[in-house]
Amino acid sequence: MGLTEGSTGVAIVVNLEEERGRKAPSLDALSALVNDDLAKVNATIVERMHSPVELIPQLAGHIIAAGGKRLRPMLTLASAKLCGHSGQRHIKLSACVEFIHTATLLHDDVVDDSSLRRGLASANAVWGNKPSVLVGDFLFSRAFELMVEDGNLQVLAILSRASSVIAEGEVLQLITANDTATNEDSYLEVIRAKTAALFAAACRIGAVVADRPKVEEEALDSYGLNLGIAFQLIDDVLDYSAKQEKLGKAIGDDFREGKITLPVILAFRRGDDEERGFWRRTLEELEQAEDGADLRHAIHLMEKHQSLQDTVKRARHYGAIARDALGIFPDSPAKTALTDVIGFCIDRAF
Protein backbone atom coordinates (compact mmCIF):
# COMPACT_ATOMS: atom_id res chain seq x y z
CA MET A 1 0.00 0.00 0.00
CA GLY A 2 1.38 3.37 -0.90
CA LEU A 3 4.57 1.92 -2.28
CA THR A 4 4.99 1.04 -5.89
CA GLU A 5 7.68 -0.84 -7.72
CA GLY A 6 10.65 1.49 -8.07
CA SER A 7 9.48 4.03 -5.53
CA THR A 8 12.36 5.81 -3.86
CA GLY A 9 13.03 6.56 -0.24
CA VAL A 10 11.72 10.05 -0.65
CA ALA A 11 8.58 8.58 -2.13
CA ILE A 12 7.90 6.79 1.15
CA VAL A 13 7.22 10.08 2.85
CA VAL A 14 5.15 11.40 -0.05
CA ASN A 15 3.12 8.23 -0.20
CA LEU A 16 2.58 8.29 3.52
CA GLU A 17 0.97 11.68 3.13
CA GLU A 18 -1.26 10.34 0.38
CA GLU A 19 -2.30 7.41 2.55
CA ARG A 20 -3.79 9.64 5.19
CA GLY A 21 -7.27 9.73 3.77
CA ARG A 22 -7.53 5.95 3.43
CA LYS A 23 -8.98 3.81 6.19
CA ALA A 24 -6.09 1.68 7.38
CA PRO A 25 -6.59 -2.04 8.03
CA SER A 26 -7.04 -2.42 11.74
CA LEU A 27 -7.54 -4.82 14.58
CA ASP A 28 -11.13 -3.57 14.94
CA ALA A 29 -12.81 -6.73 13.65
CA LEU A 30 -10.57 -8.86 15.84
CA SER A 31 -11.21 -6.68 18.88
CA ALA A 32 -14.97 -6.79 18.35
CA LEU A 33 -14.84 -10.57 17.95
CA VAL A 34 -12.86 -11.37 21.07
CA ASN A 35 -13.53 -8.38 23.29
CA ASP A 36 -15.51 -10.25 25.96
CA ASP A 37 -13.08 -13.14 26.04
CA LEU A 38 -10.13 -10.78 26.21
CA ALA A 39 -11.54 -9.19 29.37
CA LYS A 40 -11.57 -12.67 30.91
CA VAL A 41 -8.02 -13.28 29.72
CA ASN A 42 -6.89 -10.03 31.31
CA ALA A 43 -8.58 -11.01 34.58
CA THR A 44 -6.84 -14.40 34.45
CA ILE A 45 -3.50 -12.71 33.80
CA VAL A 46 -3.88 -10.41 36.80
CA GLU A 47 -5.02 -13.30 39.00
CA ARG A 48 -2.22 -15.61 37.93
CA MET A 49 0.67 -13.19 38.13
CA HIS A 50 -0.16 -12.77 41.81
CA SER A 51 2.45 -13.81 44.34
CA PRO A 52 2.98 -13.02 48.03
CA VAL A 53 6.39 -11.79 46.87
CA GLU A 54 5.14 -8.32 45.93
CA LEU A 55 7.91 -7.47 43.50
CA ILE A 56 6.62 -10.21 41.19
CA PRO A 57 3.15 -8.73 40.45
CA GLN A 58 4.70 -5.24 40.50
CA LEU A 59 7.29 -6.01 37.86
CA ALA A 60 5.10 -8.36 35.83
CA GLY A 61 2.24 -5.86 36.05
CA HIS A 62 4.49 -3.11 34.73
CA ILE A 63 5.25 -4.96 31.54
CA ILE A 64 1.87 -6.64 31.13
CA ALA A 65 -0.17 -3.53 31.96
CA ALA A 66 2.06 -1.38 29.74
CA GLY A 67 -0.24 -3.00 27.28
CA GLY A 68 0.98 -4.02 23.99
CA LYS A 69 -1.77 -5.17 21.72
CA ARG A 70 -2.31 -8.59 23.31
CA LEU A 71 -2.03 -9.77 19.73
CA ARG A 72 -0.96 -13.32 20.53
CA PRO A 73 -3.73 -14.14 23.02
CA MET A 74 -6.24 -12.51 20.67
CA LEU A 75 -5.04 -14.87 17.95
CA THR A 76 -5.70 -17.85 20.21
CA LEU A 77 -9.17 -16.54 21.03
CA ALA A 78 -10.04 -15.88 17.39
CA SER A 79 -8.62 -19.21 16.22
CA ALA A 80 -10.72 -21.03 18.81
CA LYS A 81 -13.78 -19.12 17.60
CA LEU A 82 -12.93 -19.88 13.98
CA CYS A 83 -12.94 -23.56 14.92
CA GLY A 84 -16.26 -23.30 16.73
CA HIS A 85 -14.94 -23.82 20.25
CA SER A 86 -17.75 -23.08 22.69
CA GLY A 87 -16.09 -23.78 26.05
CA GLN A 88 -13.83 -21.64 28.23
CA ARG A 89 -10.50 -23.44 27.85
CA HIS A 90 -9.19 -20.91 25.36
CA ILE A 91 -9.25 -18.22 28.08
CA LYS A 92 -6.62 -19.85 30.28
CA LEU A 93 -4.54 -20.89 27.29
CA SER A 94 -4.57 -17.35 25.90
CA ALA A 95 -3.28 -16.08 29.25
CA CYS A 96 -0.63 -18.76 29.06
CA VAL A 97 0.47 -17.58 25.60
CA GLU A 98 0.73 -14.00 26.88
CA PHE A 99 2.79 -15.17 29.89
CA ILE A 100 5.25 -16.97 27.62
CA HIS A 101 5.47 -13.87 25.44
CA THR A 102 5.98 -11.58 28.46
CA ALA A 103 8.65 -13.86 29.92
CA THR A 104 10.60 -13.71 26.65
CA LEU A 105 10.20 -9.91 26.52
CA LEU A 106 11.66 -9.59 30.02
CA HIS A 107 14.63 -11.75 29.10
CA ASP A 108 15.02 -10.04 25.71
CA ASP A 109 15.28 -6.65 27.34
CA VAL A 110 17.99 -7.96 29.64
CA VAL A 111 19.88 -9.55 26.75
CA ASP A 112 19.54 -6.41 24.60
CA ASP A 113 20.23 -3.97 27.47
CA SER A 114 17.05 -2.19 26.41
CA SER A 115 15.95 0.79 28.45
CA LEU A 116 12.60 1.28 26.74
CA ARG A 117 9.72 -1.08 26.03
CA ARG A 118 6.59 0.20 24.27
CA GLY A 119 7.69 3.77 24.97
CA LEU A 120 7.97 3.21 28.74
CA ALA A 121 11.00 2.40 30.85
CA SER A 122 11.69 -1.32 30.53
CA ALA A 123 11.45 -3.50 33.63
CA ASN A 124 15.21 -3.96 33.70
CA ALA A 125 15.68 -0.19 33.54
CA VAL A 126 13.38 0.28 36.55
CA TRP A 127 14.27 -2.74 38.72
CA GLY A 128 17.55 -3.98 37.24
CA ASN A 129 18.42 -7.09 35.29
CA LYS A 130 18.28 -9.55 38.15
CA PRO A 131 14.57 -9.38 39.02
CA SER A 132 13.76 -9.25 35.31
CA VAL A 133 15.49 -12.59 34.77
CA LEU A 134 13.80 -14.17 37.78
CA VAL A 135 10.32 -12.76 37.22
CA GLY A 136 10.63 -13.96 33.62
CA ASP A 137 11.32 -17.44 35.01
CA PHE A 138 8.31 -17.10 37.29
CA LEU A 139 5.96 -16.13 34.45
CA PHE A 140 7.30 -18.91 32.31
CA SER A 141 6.66 -21.44 35.10
CA ARG A 142 3.23 -19.95 35.68
CA ALA A 143 2.48 -20.42 31.98
CA PHE A 144 3.23 -24.11 32.35
CA GLU A 145 1.07 -24.37 35.45
CA LEU A 146 -1.83 -22.88 33.46
CA MET A 147 -1.30 -25.38 30.65
CA VAL A 148 -1.14 -28.27 33.09
CA GLU A 149 -4.46 -27.13 34.58
CA ASP A 150 -5.93 -27.28 31.08
CA GLY A 151 -4.63 -30.81 31.00
CA ASN A 152 -4.43 -31.36 27.23
CA LEU A 153 -1.15 -33.07 26.41
CA GLN A 154 -1.29 -31.96 22.79
CA VAL A 155 -1.50 -28.31 23.86
CA LEU A 156 1.34 -28.91 26.31
CA ALA A 157 3.47 -30.44 23.57
CA ILE A 158 2.78 -27.54 21.19
CA LEU A 159 3.58 -24.82 23.72
CA SER A 160 6.60 -26.51 25.32
CA ARG A 161 8.03 -27.13 21.87
CA ALA A 162 7.40 -23.51 20.90
CA SER A 163 9.18 -22.36 24.06
CA SER A 164 12.34 -24.27 23.33
CA VAL A 165 12.28 -23.17 19.69
CA ILE A 166 12.00 -19.55 20.87
CA ALA A 167 14.99 -19.96 23.20
CA GLU A 168 16.96 -21.61 20.39
CA GLY A 169 16.09 -18.69 18.11
CA GLU A 170 17.19 -16.16 20.70
CA VAL A 171 20.56 -17.86 21.10
CA LEU A 172 20.94 -18.02 17.32
CA GLN A 173 20.16 -14.31 17.08
CA LEU A 174 22.74 -13.57 19.75
CA ILE A 175 25.40 -15.48 17.81
CA THR A 176 24.61 -13.84 14.48
CA ALA A 177 24.28 -10.37 16.05
CA ASN A 178 26.70 -7.82 14.62
CA ASP A 179 27.62 -10.14 11.76
CA THR A 180 27.03 -8.33 8.48
CA ALA A 181 27.73 -11.59 6.62
CA THR A 182 24.33 -12.90 7.81
CA ASN A 183 22.19 -13.73 4.79
CA GLU A 184 18.45 -13.58 4.31
CA ASP A 185 17.92 -17.30 4.95
CA SER A 186 19.82 -17.30 8.25
CA TYR A 187 17.88 -14.26 9.27
CA LEU A 188 14.58 -15.94 8.41
CA GLU A 189 15.61 -18.94 10.45
CA VAL A 190 16.07 -16.65 13.46
CA ILE A 191 12.72 -14.88 13.17
CA ARG A 192 10.83 -18.08 12.42
CA ALA A 193 12.10 -19.35 15.77
CA LYS A 194 12.13 -16.29 17.98
CA THR A 195 8.88 -14.67 16.81
CA ALA A 196 6.84 -16.81 14.41
CA ALA A 197 6.89 -20.05 16.43
CA LEU A 198 4.77 -18.51 19.19
CA PHE A 199 2.31 -17.00 16.68
CA ALA A 200 2.00 -20.47 15.10
CA ALA A 201 1.47 -22.18 18.45
CA ALA A 202 -1.00 -19.52 19.63
CA CYS A 203 -3.17 -20.12 16.56
CA ARG A 204 -2.77 -23.89 16.43
CA ILE A 205 -4.03 -24.45 19.96
CA GLY A 206 -7.29 -22.77 18.90
CA ALA A 207 -7.95 -25.80 16.69
CA VAL A 208 -6.78 -28.24 19.35
CA VAL A 209 -9.16 -27.01 22.06
CA ALA A 210 -12.00 -27.23 19.52
CA ASP A 211 -10.95 -30.78 18.75
CA ARG A 212 -10.75 -30.08 15.01
CA PRO A 213 -9.04 -32.36 12.46
CA LYS A 214 -5.32 -32.14 11.91
CA VAL A 215 -5.68 -30.32 8.60
CA GLU A 216 -7.26 -27.36 10.43
CA GLU A 217 -4.60 -27.41 13.12
CA GLU A 218 -1.95 -27.28 10.45
CA ALA A 219 -3.73 -24.53 8.55
CA LEU A 220 -3.80 -22.36 11.67
CA ASP A 221 -0.17 -23.20 12.38
CA SER A 222 0.78 -22.09 8.87
CA TYR A 223 -1.34 -18.94 9.18
CA GLY A 224 0.33 -18.06 12.49
CA LEU A 225 3.83 -18.86 11.33
CA ASN A 226 3.64 -16.74 8.19
CA LEU A 227 1.81 -13.94 9.97
CA GLY A 228 4.56 -13.98 12.59
CA ILE A 229 7.28 -13.69 9.96
CA ALA A 230 5.46 -10.79 8.28
CA PHE A 231 4.92 -9.13 11.66
CA GLN A 232 8.61 -9.32 12.55
CA LEU A 233 9.76 -8.09 9.13
CA ILE A 234 7.54 -5.01 9.52
CA ASP A 235 8.85 -4.49 13.04
CA ASP A 236 12.31 -4.41 11.56
CA VAL A 237 11.23 -1.86 8.94
CA LEU A 238 9.56 0.33 11.58
CA ASP A 239 12.81 0.63 13.45
CA TYR A 240 14.11 2.73 10.55
CA SER A 241 10.86 4.37 9.56
CA ALA A 242 9.56 7.91 9.60
CA LYS A 243 6.12 6.57 10.54
CA GLN A 244 7.47 5.23 13.78
CA GLU A 245 9.03 8.60 14.55
CA LYS A 246 5.74 10.37 13.88
CA LEU A 247 4.09 8.13 16.45
CA GLY A 248 6.58 9.42 19.00
CA LYS A 249 8.45 6.14 19.17
CA ALA A 250 12.22 5.99 19.04
CA ILE A 251 13.80 4.74 15.88
CA GLY A 252 17.26 3.31 15.44
CA ASP A 253 17.26 0.91 18.42
CA ASP A 254 18.23 -2.03 16.19
CA PHE A 255 20.91 0.12 14.55
CA ARG A 256 22.43 1.18 17.86
CA GLU A 257 22.50 -2.45 19.04
CA GLY A 258 24.07 -3.58 15.77
CA LYS A 259 21.16 -5.91 14.99
CA ILE A 260 21.33 -7.41 11.54
CA THR A 261 17.76 -7.29 10.24
CA LEU A 262 16.50 -7.75 6.70
CA PRO A 263 16.63 -4.03 5.75
CA VAL A 264 20.33 -4.09 6.67
CA ILE A 265 20.99 -7.40 4.91
CA LEU A 266 19.48 -6.09 1.67
CA ALA A 267 21.30 -2.74 1.83
CA PHE A 268 24.59 -4.47 2.64
CA ARG A 269 24.31 -6.95 -0.24
CA ARG A 270 23.27 -4.26 -2.71
CA GLY A 271 25.94 -1.79 -1.60
CA ASP A 272 29.49 -1.15 -2.82
CA ASP A 273 32.70 -1.68 -0.84
CA GLU A 274 32.55 1.72 0.75
CA GLU A 275 29.01 1.14 1.92
CA ARG A 276 29.88 -2.27 3.29
CA GLY A 277 32.69 -0.61 5.19
CA PHE A 278 30.11 1.75 6.67
CA TRP A 279 27.89 -1.15 7.79
CA ARG A 280 30.86 -3.02 9.25
CA ARG A 281 32.04 0.01 11.19
CA THR A 282 28.62 0.89 12.57
CA LEU A 283 27.10 -2.57 13.15
CA GLU A 284 30.08 -4.88 13.71
CA GLU A 285 32.45 -2.49 15.46
CA LEU A 286 29.53 -0.47 16.85
CA GLU A 287 31.48 2.73 16.13
CA GLN A 288 28.65 5.18 15.61
CA ALA A 289 28.56 8.97 15.53
CA GLU A 290 26.74 10.24 18.60
CA ASP A 291 24.88 12.96 16.71
CA GLY A 292 22.75 10.46 14.78
CA ALA A 293 24.57 11.15 11.50
CA ASP A 294 25.33 7.46 11.05
CA LEU A 295 21.70 6.46 11.60
CA ARG A 296 20.64 9.05 9.01
CA HIS A 297 23.23 7.69 6.59
CA ALA A 298 22.00 4.14 7.22
CA ILE A 299 18.44 5.19 6.37
CA HIS A 300 19.76 6.99 3.30
CA LEU A 301 21.49 3.80 2.12
CA MET A 302 18.33 1.80 2.75
CA GLU A 303 16.35 4.25 0.68
CA LYS A 304 18.97 4.21 -2.05
CA HIS A 305 18.73 0.42 -2.30
CA GLN A 306 15.01 0.23 -1.58
CA SER A 307 15.70 -2.18 1.20
CA LEU A 308 12.84 -0.97 3.40
CA GLN A 309 10.36 -1.20 0.54
CA ASP A 310 11.62 -4.63 -0.41
CA THR A 311 11.41 -5.86 3.17
CA VAL A 312 7.76 -4.79 3.10
CA LYS A 313 7.38 -6.73 -0.16
CA ARG A 314 8.84 -9.81 1.49
CA ALA A 315 6.40 -9.32 4.36
CA ARG A 316 3.53 -9.18 1.86
CA HIS A 317 4.70 -12.51 0.46
CA TYR A 318 4.40 -14.18 3.87
CA GLY A 319 1.14 -12.35 4.49
CA ALA A 320 -0.23 -13.87 1.28
CA ILE A 321 0.71 -17.37 2.44
CA ALA A 322 -1.02 -16.69 5.76
CA ARG A 323 -4.16 -15.54 3.93
CA ASP A 324 -4.26 -18.64 1.75
CA ALA A 325 -3.73 -20.89 4.74
CA LEU A 326 -7.13 -19.76 6.02
CA GLY A 327 -8.70 -20.79 2.69
CA ILE A 328 -9.98 -24.12 3.99
CA PHE A 329 -12.22 -22.43 6.54
CA PRO A 330 -15.70 -21.25 5.50
CA ASP A 331 -16.40 -17.54 5.70
CA SER A 332 -17.17 -16.28 9.19
CA PRO A 333 -16.59 -13.18 11.31
CA ALA A 334 -13.58 -14.98 12.82
CA LYS A 335 -12.08 -15.61 9.39
CA THR A 336 -12.59 -11.96 8.45
CA ALA A 337 -10.98 -10.84 11.70
CA LEU A 338 -7.96 -13.12 11.22
CA THR A 339 -7.60 -11.97 7.61
CA ASP A 340 -7.70 -8.33 8.70
CA VAL A 341 -4.87 -8.98 11.15
CA ILE A 342 -2.56 -9.71 8.22
CA GLY A 343 -3.29 -6.34 6.64
CA PHE A 344 -2.90 -4.60 9.97
CA CYS A 345 0.46 -6.21 10.68
CA ILE A 346 1.84 -5.20 7.31
CA ASP A 347 0.23 -1.81 6.84
CA ARG A 348 1.36 -0.44 10.17
CA ALA A 349 4.56 0.23 8.22
CA PHE A 350 2.86 3.20 6.59
What lies within 8 Å, CB to CB, of 116 at 6+ separation is 122, 125, 250, 253
The CA-based dihedral angle spanning residues 140, 146, 151, 155, taken in that order and rounded to the nearest 10 degrees: -50
Q: If you ran DSSP here, which 8-state letter would residue 280 be given?
A: I
- In the complex, least distance from residue 294 CB atom to a second copy, rounded to whole angstroms: 24
Burial of 248 (0-12, 13-18, 19+ CB in 10 A): exposed
* Minimum CB distance to a second copy smaller for 136 or for 258: 136
Candidate residues 135, 299, 322, 349; the one interacting with a second copy per rule CB under 8 A: 135
Candidate residues 1, 66, 111, 188; the one interacting with a second copy per rule CB under 8 A: 111
Candidate residues 166, 237, 260, 283; the one interacting with a second copy per rule CB under 8 A: 166
Candidate residues 12, 29, 83, 110; the one interacting with a second copy per rule CB under 8 A: 110
> For residue 151, is it left (φ>0), alpha (ψ between -120 and 50) or beta?
left
Site for a second copy in 170-189 (CB under 8 A): 170-172, 174-175
Q: Are 242 and 16 in contact (CB under 8 A)?
A: yes
Phi, psi of 121 (to 5 degrees): -60, 135
Look at residues 120, 117, 350, 116 and name the one whose alpha carbon lies nearest to residue 242. Answer: 350
- Residue 114 near a second copy by CB under 8 A: no
Candidate residues 22, 118, 130, 313; the one interacting with a second copy per rule CB under 8 A: 130
- Residue 62 near a second copy by CB under 8 A: no
Q: If you ran DSSP here, which 8-state letter would residue 331 be given?
A: P
Q: Are 130 and 32 in contact (CB under 8 A)?
A: no
- In the complex, least distance from residue 65 CB atom to a second copy, rounded to whole angstroms: 18
- Residue 56 near a second copy by CB under 8 A: yes
Distance from the first to the final alpha carbon of the chain: 8
* Minimum CB distance to a second copy smaller for 32 or for 55: 55
Give the binding range for a second copy (CB under 8 A) out of 148-156, 200-208, 219-227, 270-278: 148-156
Candidate residues 18, 28, 36, 137; the one interacting with a second copy per rule CB under 8 A: 137
* Minimum CB distance to a second copy smaller for 16 or for 172: 172
Q: Are 198 and 273 in contact (CB under 8 A)?
A: no
- In the complex, least distance from residue 81 CB atom to a second copy, rounded to whole angstroms: 26
Residue type present at position 339: T
- Contact positions toward a second copy, by CB under 8 A? 51-53, 55-56, 104, 107, 110-111, 129-131, 133-138, 140-142, 144-145, 147-149, 151, 153, 156-157, 160-161, 163-164, 166-168, 170-172, 174-175
